[in-house]
Amino acid sequence: MPDTRQIAGLALDRLERIETHLDRHYIQPGKLPGALTLVARRGEIASVTAQGMMDVERGKPVSRDTLFRIYSMTKPITSIAMMQLYEQGRFLLDDPVHRYIPSWKNRRVFKAGVYPNFMTEPATSIMTVRDLFTHMSGLTYGFMSRTNLDAAYRELQLDGSKDLTLDTLVERLAELPLEFNPGTAWNYSVGTDVLGYLVQLLADQPFDEYLRENIFEPLEMVDTGFHVSNLQAERFAACYQYAPGDRMKLQDDPEHSHFRREGSYLSGGGGLVSTIDDYFHFAQALCQGGEYQGRRIIGRKTLEFMRRNHLPGNQDLPSLSVGSFSETPYAGTGFGLGFSVKTDVAKSQINGSEGEYGWGGLASTHFMIDPVEELVMIFMTQLIPSSSYPLRQELRAIVNGALVD
């Protein structure tokens, strides 16, 4: 007889393809150490699949409470924190950034040269707070290794170092030119780290304390934070780096990781560790219009605003992007206030719904929310970079194929 088991309109036998696919094509061949995948619909978890190892060297299997470096999946959390302050009238999106960071007035744009001998020209537009949300600020990331300005970020360790703070970040960024005039192009950047600085400034409270009181505690995200405590250490996964030949090598040993130390740099762009259930509480709150189990973190209308495409002229990312950083093809996908937003399903060539939104992290983690289907998917693993394999597209195909009503 055919398998007719369903939860919330998802066929369970079809969701089991997640485990089969990842095991056959990634875990058994040694491409991924392990994985943890959660799928929920209409507020009900339909599937949680743990497979492989969280620490290959120590033979520790992935479990549901494994702690993962979520890297850029921190960005949507920071963006929600900032928009909580927007709802309190603390700022407007078209405010110039220099209103809050005076040293950022009269920005200049890179023309030529290498650090510290840059040739620059005055910017012809003013950077706004919205530009920080949408990655149209003219800032960049050192890890992309694409331009001379990226190299300066690496030399100054602006992607994170043990002596960096949010205050020193904005001070050092004030001394560097921009990649382009704000609002004219899209470039993945430390802009969300600057939003973390603004949260701290506008709330007059340390960034980590603000997140804990206004997001983590209300949503019972008990394991999410900027460092891994001694009590959590046994559950902290190892992180791996892609190696030629579709292999992997240890990149960050959990026993010696900088995440085990309380650092001074609270990166709103990539500094959090979390568990799949913690992140599900956050994602499900977004899927339900801003509240989870009766606890609201953001207004329904504010969230609707955030998940619109905020790129000029409703363009998609390839139309405006000056660089590539992910395995995901972003045709038919725009960008909102903190996450990508699907604008054209056919153009994207990935099954889904218009209005679907989410984001991923450097170590190949990912989450997706489909408000049309009331669907949430979260994928956790630890392999750098996220461009190693087309996992995100493949998982979308499997999960959407499990929808039966």
Domain identity same for 379 and 283: yes
Judge if 106 and 138 occupy the same domain: yes
Provide the CB-side half-sphere exposure for 92 (13 A, CA).
3
- Is the overall model pTM greater than 0.85, yes or no? yes
In this structure, the number of other CB atoms found within 10 A of the CB of residue 285 comes to 23
pLDDT at 100: 98
Same domain (yes/no): 106, 211? no
Nearest-5° Cα angle at 371, 365 to 374: 85
Q: Are residues 255 and 324 in the same domain?
A: yes
168 Cβ neighbours under 8 A, 6+ residues apart = none
184 and 171 within one domain: yes
Residue with tokens 């001394």: 175
Residue 60 in any domain: the answer is yes
Q: What does the pLDDT read at residue 35? A: 98
So what's the pLDDT on residue 324?
Answer: 63
Q: Is residue 259 part of a domain?
A: yes
Q: What is the largest CA-CA distance in the chain?
A: 73
257 shares a domain with 241: yes
pLDDT of residue 144: 82
> How many domains does the chain divide into?
2
Q: Which of 160, 135, 388, 143 is nearest to 271 (CA)?
A: 160
Whether residue 191 is found in the same domain as residue 222: no
Q: Give a yes or no: residue 160 inside a domain.
A: yes
Domain boundary among 146, 176, 203: 203
Classify residue 372 as exposed, middle or buried by CB count within 10 Å of its CB (0-12, 13-18, 19+).
exposed
Is position 1 within any domain? no
Instruction: Answer yes or no: are the C-beta atoms of 335 and 309 closer than 8 Å.
Output: yes
**Predicted confidence (pLDDT) per residue in 145-185, tens digit:** 889 999 999 999 998 777 899 999 999 999 999 999 999 99
- pLDDT tens digits, residue range 353-365? 999 999 999 999 9
User: Is 374 in the same domain as 323?
Assistant: yes
Query: Which among 203, 229, 252 is the end of a domain?
Result: 203
Residues of the chain with pLDDT under 70: 1-3, 324-329
pLDDT value of residue 295: 97
Query: Given 173, 203, 233, which residue is the final one in a domain?
Result: 203
Residues 49 and 123 in one domain: no
DSSP 8-state symbol, 97:
G
> The dihedral of CA 323, 327, 333, 335: what is its sign?
negative
Residues 239 and 222 in one domain: yes
CATH code: domain of residue 390 = 3.40.710.10
Task: Give me the phi and psi of 265, to 5 degrees please.
Answer: -100, 115
Separation of alpha carbons 337 and 399, rounded Å: 25
CB contact burial 378-403 (16+ within 10 A = b; e otherwise): bbbbbbbebebbebbbbbbebbbebb
Buried b (16+ CB within 10 A) or exposed e, 239-258: bbbbeeeeebeebbebeebe
CA atoms within 13 A on the CB side of 329: 13
Closest by CA position to 288, among listed 306, 274, 303: 303
Residues 23 and 78 in one domain: yes
Residues 100 and 191 in one domain: yes
Range of the domain at 340: 6-83+206-401
